[in-house]
Structure 1
Amino acid sequence: MLTLIGLLTMGALVLLLIVGRTSPVIPLISVPLIGALFAGFGPAELTTFFNEGIGKVMPIAVMFIFAIIFFGVLQDTGLFRPLINTMVRVTRGNVVAVAVATAIIGMLAHLDGAGATTFLLTVPALLPLYRELRMSPYLMLLLLAMGAGIFNMLPWAGPLGRASAVTGIDLTELWRGLIPVQVVGAALLILLAIVLGLRERRRIDSGTNTPTAEASQSVKAGIEELSEEARALQRPGLMWFNGLLFLAVLVSLFSGALPAGYIFMIALCIVLIVNYPGGKQQMSRVTAHAGAALNMGMIILAAGTMLGVLAGTKMLTSIAQDLVTVLPEASIPLLHIILGVFGLPMELLLSTDAYYFGLMPIVLEVAGTHGVDPASVVYALMVGNIIGTFISPFSPALWLALGLANLDLGRHIRYSLFWMWGFSLVLLAFCWSWGLL
């Protein structure tokens, strides 16, 4: 009976997360609660489940809230914009160089972990150049999306936080294992950009590779066009200080000298005091980014209650034990790898929340019966899936990018799916050879 209730609970949870008619917070809290009540658990047990679940994810929620605001403020100062603008300018007219620069820009623009910011920063700057060179805007979107996907493995980007919340493994500990994957992924993406750039150059008539003066002016306008408010927030005189602060945060996260949440608390204080010394300015910057920070923090906390209830009621354990009796014995220790292989196509069927909060807990339980390390499950499911983050119809940031470039989702999927999936499989193979799986 507990397995049946657990399956209905997980099925309803995944379905509601896929449909996306409500905030993810609502099904994450309400569905496990209803399942626990049907299984016969009362207020005393639910209180225990809540406290245990919240206790596991509180450090992650704190880290996300302060990290999102910190990187939002860094974006306000204009730290990343000059680098991106410079790359756009120096690659003008060379199709292969433009493709390589697009891949690099996609990674750099995603340093704050926000997909919407990535596309707002890059698509308006690059699109006029792509149009003038007669390069496919779908190539632009593919390279930006893959670059953002690689950097989506950063601790503050979202997926890793979800995985940490589900497994209870320290966020920075998980990230350390993924750093080689990100380095290899970045190098491979540049090589792929060269290949796709050469293919694109062959497609284009050689006489149209030099942009006109009018097009150059339009690209320049796309780079420099900033609102009065955005221009007032920029701090070009503090560029070096902000860059060093950003590097210091990365080094601190890697070293593990302090908890990640505390690192971002300290960094936020410094970036606000130095760049926006007035109290009103500081509150204005915090308020500007508080919505995104609070949304992510709420999701992590709601996920904590969900996992506390599912773990406390033993629903996942019951499902896993019954699945073990049904699945072929030889497939169970490899279940996470098998699902990782198909992780990217699953982006078309499952939202990020459904993937990490619906599928991953069950895989962890099933694989755990055969002694598979939870970190290996995370790496297999994440690496197999994350490159396709911005091919999923469940990604709001992708719809923003499509709107900015006036592109079609179906055509984007047809253009990008083969390259994204193949890229994911190569990274998954590297994870296996590196010993992460």
Structure 2
Amino acid sequence: MLALLGFLTIAVFLYLILSKRVSVIVALILVPIVFGLFTSSISELGEMILAGISGVAPTGIMLAFAILFFGIMNRAGLFDPFISNVLKLVKGDPLKIVMGTAIIAMATHLDGSGASTFLITIPALLPIYDRLGMSRLVLTGVTALSCGVMNMVPWGGPTARAASSLGVDVSLIFNPLLPAMGIGLIWVLFVSYIIGKRERKRVGIKEFNYDFHSELSEEERTTRRPKLIWLNLLITVITIVALIKIWLPLPVIFMVAFAVALLINYPKPKDQQERITEQANGMVSVVSIIFAAGIFTGVLSGSGMIEAMATAMVSVIPESTGSFMALFVAITSMPLSLVFTPDAYYFGVLPVLSETAAAYGIAPEVIGRAAILGQMTTGFPLSPLTAATFLLIGLARVELGDHQRFIFLWAFGSTIVMTIAAFITGALSFS
């Protein structure tokens, strides 16, 4: 009975959000409560909900202040010199421009936001591509490849969702994958080189001058802090090192980093409030989903539905294939980005896969690592289920189908390459 209720809960949840009958937040809150009433009393259900919310609270806080911190750094112009220098180096060589595109997208995606990355990268580079007669699909494709691998960062969304749904610390999922992620970035540069050589052969090399700063609006110029570039870079590097070394809990690190960055770059209280307000919309939408997800996972876990579903799945999966669950999750993660939204997959599918794998001695964090190798990481800039994808193709004015056909196999290759690296380095295992 519990297993049936669990599968019905997930099925109704997936149906509601995939058909866009209700928003993700509404589905995450109401669907588990309705089905949870068939398994527990109201008071017990309340305890499950509070336990679920408490479990995701650190992740929600981390995401909130990560968005604020990197938003401040972007507004202060931390990446401006980097972009300008890359553009000066590449000049009119299509190969160098494609390589530069990959590097710029990697750097600007440090904030984990696809929307901000596309808003910075595409408008800055599109005039260059058009001036040289280069394909806009190359611009969107290479940007997508870079953002896809970089979206594995803990504050990017998928990793935080995986940690929340599985009830494990973010660092347990992300840190062991750092070598594989590094290999993935090298793969992206390799692919960019191949694509760039094709473009160089097609359009040739042309000389021209392009000023990145001339493309900034007057408001963007007034909020830039060029004299603080090196200090902001130092703060960012220290923050990233602190996250990897876990000097403090991740939410605390971002809270302190945000406060320091805001005070140094915008000492006036009025300016500080304006910078916070700028980031509020994106921050609230992400964080509210994380806390709503706490209700979903809290009810499914506390009621025993996830455990019952896992038991049911184990009974139908041949014992000889159970040890390959991590490999199965990793390989299917990227293509499933075209079918499931990140919330549907991480909060509806991943917990069941994790519980099933646990029966074969595979830890939840291992399944979480396998999932983020493709699910809404390498797959998110191609998925029709994310708004960021339409922002990407809209800014570059290309068709979604053309974009998907151009870059899908290369993006799937990123997942395969990182999966192999993850098994070699021990981040993934068969048991």
Shift of 1:205: 4.6
2:326 to 325, 330, 336: 336
User: In structure 2, what is the Cα distance between the partners aligned to 1:20 and 1:101?
Assistant: 38
Equivalent position of 2:50 in the other structure: 51
User: In structure 2, what is the Cα distance between the partners aligned to 1:45 and 1:258?
Assistant: 34
Given that 1:138 and 1:412 are in contact with CA atoms closer than 8 Å, whether structure 2 keeps it comes out as yes
Given that 2:174 and 2:369 are in contact with CA atoms closer than 8 Å, whether structure 1 keeps it comes out as no
Equivalent position of 1:154 in the other structure: 153
1:287 to 277, 292, 297: 277
Answering whether residue 33 of structure 2 is matched by residue 33 of structure 1, we say: yes
User: In structure 2, what is the Cα distance between the partners aligned to 1:256 and 1:356?
Assistant: 24
Query: Can you list the C-alpha shifts for 1:72-93, whole angstroms capped at 9, x where unaligned?
Result: 1111101112211221222021
User: In structure 2, what is the Cα distance between the partners aligned to 1:293 and 1:433?
Assistant: 36
Given that 2:134 and 2:203 are in contact with CA atoms closer than 8 Å, whether structure 1 keeps it comes out as no
Give ranges in structure 1 of 5+ residues lacking alignment: none
Given that 1:336 and 1:363 are in contact with CA atoms closer than 8 Å, whether structure 2 keeps it comes out as no
Answering whether residue 264 of structure 2 is matched by residue 265 of structure 1, we say: no
Query: Can you list the C-alpha shifts for 1:395-418, whole angstroms capped at 9, x where unaligned?
Result: 211111111111000110111111
Given that 1:72 and 1:289 are in contact with CA atoms closer than 8 Å, whether structure 2 keeps it comes out as yes
Equivalent position of 1:16 in the other structure: 16
User: In structure 2, what is the Cα distance between the partners aligned to 1:256 and 1:426?
Assistant: 27
Shift of 1:339: 2.9
Shift of 1:210: 0.7
User: In structure 2, what is the Cα distance between the partners aligned to 1:229 and 1:90?
Assistant: 27
| Alpha carbons of structure 1 residues 395 and 279: separation in structure 2 relative to 1, 3 Å | same
Given that 1:88 and 1:125 are in contact with CA atoms closer than 8 Å, whether structure 2 keeps it comes out as no
Given that 2:75 and 2:224 are in contact with CA atoms closer than 8 Å, whether structure 1 keeps it comes out as yes
Query: Can you list the C-alpha shifts for 1:317-365, whole angstroms capped at 9, x where unaligned?
Result: 1111111111222222222321321221111111111111111011011
| Alpha carbons of structure 1 residues 112 and 205: separation in structure 2 relative to 1, 3 Å | closer
Shift of 1:136: 1.4
Answering whether residue 366 of structure 2 is matched by residue 376 of structure 1, we say: yes
Query: Can you list the C-alpha shifts for 1:217-259, whole angstroms capped at 9, x where unaligned?
Result: xx43x65222222111111111111111001101111111111
User: In structure 2, what is the Cα distance between the partners aligned to 1:253 and 1:132?
Assistant: 41
What secondary structure sits across from 1:333 in the alignment? helix
Aligned residue runs from structure 1 range 373-412, under 5 A: 373-385=363-375, 386-412=377-403
Given that 2:181 and 2:418 are in contact with CA atoms closer than 8 Å, whether structure 1 keeps it comes out as no
User: In structure 1, what is the Cα distance between the partners aligned to 2:91 and 2:23?
Assistant: 42
Query: Can you list the C-alpha shifts for 1:11-55, whole angstroms capped at 9, x where unaligned?
Result: 111222323454321111111111111x24221111110121112
Equivalent position of 1:82 in the other structure: 81
How many residues are paired up?
427
Partner amino acid, structure 1, of 2:401: G
Query: Can you list the C-alpha shifts for 1:88-123, whole angstroms capped at 9, x where unaligned?
Result: 222021121111111111100101111111011011
Partner amino acid, structure 1, of 2:231: F
Equivalent position of 2:289 in the other structure: 299
Equivalent position of 1:123 in the other structure: 122
Given that 1:24 and 1:299 are in contact with CA atoms closer than 8 Å, whether structure 2 keeps it comes out as yes
Query: Can you list the C-alpha shifts for 1:126-158, whole angstroms capped at 9, x where unaligned?
Result: 112112222211111111111111111111111
Give ranges in structure 2 of 5+ residues lacking alignment: none
Output the TM-score relative to the length of structure 1.
0.94
Structure 1 stretch 163-172 or stretch 361-370: which is displaced more? 163-172
What secondary structure sits across from 1:347 in the alignment? helix
Aligned residue runs from structure 1 range 209-248, under 5 A: 209-211=205-207, 216=209, 219-220=210-211, 224-248=214-238
User: In structure 1, what is the Cα distance between the partners aligned to 2:303 and 2:257?
Assistant: 39
Given that 2:310 and 2:356 are in contact with CA atoms closer than 8 Å, whether structure 1 keeps it comes out as yes
What secondary structure sits across from 2:379 in the alignment? helix
Given that 1:337 and 1:381 are in contact with CA atoms closer than 8 Å, whether structure 2 keeps it comes out as no
Given that 2:14 and 2:348 are in contact with CA atoms closer than 8 Å, whether structure 1 keeps it comes out as yes
Question: Please, what is the CA RMSD of the aligned residues?
Answer: 1.5
Shift of 1:261: 0.8
Equivalent position of 1:184 in the other structure: 183
Equivalent position of 2:41 in the other structure: 42
What secondary structure sits across from 1:210 in the alignment? coil
Output the TM-score relative to the length of structure 2.
0.96
Given that 1:317 and 1:365 are in contact with CA atoms closer than 8 Å, whether structure 2 keeps it comes out as yes
Partner amino acid, structure 2, of 1:247: V
User: In structure 2, what is the Cα distance between the partners aligned to 1:118 and 1:21?
Assistant: 29
Given that 2:329 and 2:367 are in contact with CA atoms closer than 8 Å, whether structure 1 keeps it comes out as no
What secondary structure sits across from 2:374 in the alignment? helix
Given that 1:391 and 1:412 are in contact with CA atoms closer than 8 Å, whether structure 2 keeps it comes out as yes
User: In structure 2, what is the Cα distance between the partners aligned to 1:337 and 1:35?
Assistant: 32
1:252 to 230, 234, 242: 242
User: In structure 1, what is the Cα distance between the partners aligned to 2:337 and 2:412?
Assistant: 11
Given that 2:76 and 2:226 are in contact with CA atoms closer than 8 Å, whether structure 1 keeps it comes out as yes
What secondary structure sits across from 1:239 in the alignment? helix
User: In structure 1, what is the Cα distance between the partners aligned to 2:44 and 2:107?
Assistant: 46
Shift of 1:281: 1.0
| Alpha carbons of structure 1 residues 86 and 22: separation in structure 2 relative to 1, 3 Å | farther
User: In structure 2, what is the Cα distance between the partners aligned to 1:245 and 1:312?
Assistant: 41
What secondary structure sits across from 2:334 in the alignment? helix
User: In structure 2, what is the Cα distance between the partners aligned to 1:301 and 1:23?
Assistant: 14
